[in-house]
Amino acid sequence: MKYQDEYRNKELCQYLIQKIRALTKTDIRLMEVCGTHTVSIFRSGLKAMLPQNVHLISGPGCPVCVTPTSAIDHVIALSRMNNTMIATFGDMINVPGSSSSLKNEKAQGADVRVIYSPFQALELAQDFPEKRVILLGIGFETTIPLIASVVLESKKKSIKNFYLYSLGKLMPPVIRELIQDRDTEIDGFLCPGHVSVIIGTEPYQFIPQEYSIPCVIAGFEPVDILYAIYCVIQQKIEHRPRVENKYERVVRKEGNPIALHKMDEVFSAIDVEWRGIGRVNKSGLDLKAEYSELNAKNFQVKIEKTKENPDCRCGEVLKGKISPLECPLFKSVCTPENPIGACMVSSEGTCATYYKYQ
């Protein structure tokens, strides 16, 4: 496909790997924040091809993985209400809550539908006027504007049985949190390319300016990723930390202003819980007061007391402190068929990616 094949050129990859090798022999720890990067790095075999001193650490960029158990339990409770349909992206249905999962609830009669686009939730609401249709609005800045436009559309069309359970989360605040957490040492960031399509390049400026850490906005094809790795290491060597945009074919400085505007119209930032990371200031989004009549969080339901599995080390995996290989349950007990933690459920979860490709 155009704009894909040329960025998968094997010889170019080999050449870039040589260039990276020639840059430095010292250990360097780079975090790819985005789960889509993690998958791409494994699938293309880059992880094994890179010189041993270049360590790639996976970050908290898988929205399903960072959704805390308490939120899963809340959604499960909502799915048990009468005349209710839950519309969700596929990965969410397998995530274990404290004692159940959406998949489990579905088997017991709950109406849970898998969608690939948030717009389908609105179509479902129109097709099933007798049901409350609750969209699980999960995602980062890439997906949030889509959810915002569905909310706006539901208002415009006066669809009364459409509701949203917002699980939207923001990348820059969690990056700050990771930097401030001294346990995770990071020499440079590969910034999420498609989040950047929406937010642009400016929200990352604090990373070099306040913390002197290099960052490069990277695309998702092997050549994009290697080129970004090369640039981020070069910034480090030259002691010139800055935000470099190496995904210029789609990322503009100002992002997508229409998307940002819609996001702003519908949502406001709140403090939210991230699995393994804890509460992070202004890192989540909830519906503004004007839209509270469609906020599914307002339904009165009984939510069970949260029970985390004490053996699951997802939290440390999400912060980049350990690799899944260091979790004693990995592969022995925890597998994609029988996931113990969220990181093994999502196809972009770090544990699931290691399982598949390692």
Partner 1 sequence: MCLAIPGKIIKKIDTEQVEVLLGGIKKKVRIDLLPQVSVGDYVLVHAGYAITKIKEKEAEEVIRAWEEIQS
Q: What are phi and psi of 218, to 5 degrees?
A: -120, 145
Q: Is-contact 320 59, C-beta < 8 A?
A: yes
Binding site for ligand SF4 (CB under 6 A): 312-314, 317, 324, 327, 329-330, 334, 340-341, 343-344, 351
Paired tokens of 158: 């006066």
* Residue 317 interface partner, choices ligand SF4, partner 1, none, CB cut-off 5-8 Å depending on type: ligand SF4
| Per CB under 8 A, 89 contacts partner 1 | yes
Q: Which does 198 bind (CB under 5 to 8 A by kind): ligand SF4, partner 1, none?
A: partner 1
Burial of 38 per CB tally in 10 Å (0-12, 13-18, 19+): buried
Nearer to ligand SF4, 62 or 213 (CB): 62
* Token reading at 166: 């917002």
180's contact among ligand SF4, partner 1, none, with CB below 5 to 8 A by partner kind, is none
Residue 148 to residue 144: CA distance in whole angstroms? 6
Per partner kind, with CB cut-offs from 5 to 8 A, the member of ligand SF4, partner 1, none near residue 32 is none
What is the nearest approach in angstroms of ligand SF4 to the Cβ of residue 341? Answer: 3
Q: What single-letter DSSP state applies at residue 167?
A: E
Cα separation values, 130 from 82, 126, 127, 152, 283, Å: 11, 9, 9, 21, 35
Which CB, 168 or 341, lies closer to ligand SF4? 341
CA distance 243 to 247: 12
- Residue 149 engages partner 1 in binding (rule: CB under 8 A): yes
Does position 248 bind partner 1 by CB under 8 A? yes
Residue 44: which region, alpha, beta or left (left: phi > 0; alpha: psi -120 to 50)?
Answer: alpha
Name the residue type at position 79. S
C-alpha–C-alpha distance, residues 10 and 45, integer Å = 11
CB of residue 93 to partner 1, shortest distance in Å: 14
- State the nearest-atom distance from the C-beta of 251 to partner 1, in Å: 8
Q: C-alpha 71: how far from its chain's center?
A: 16
**In contact, 143 and 94? CB cutoff 8 Å:** no
Smallest distance from partner 1 to CB 144, Å: 11
Among partner 1, ligand SF4, none, what binds residue 192 when CB lies within 5 to 8 Å by partner kind? partner 1
Here's the x/- map for partner 1, 175-214, by CB under 8 A: it reads as: -----------------xxxx-xx----------------
Residues that bind partner 1 (CB under 8 A): 1-4, 6, 11-12, 15, 34-36, 61-64, 89, 91, 116-120, 138-140, 142-143, 145-146, 149, 153, 192-195, 197-198, 223, 248-252, 256, 258-259, 262, 346, 348
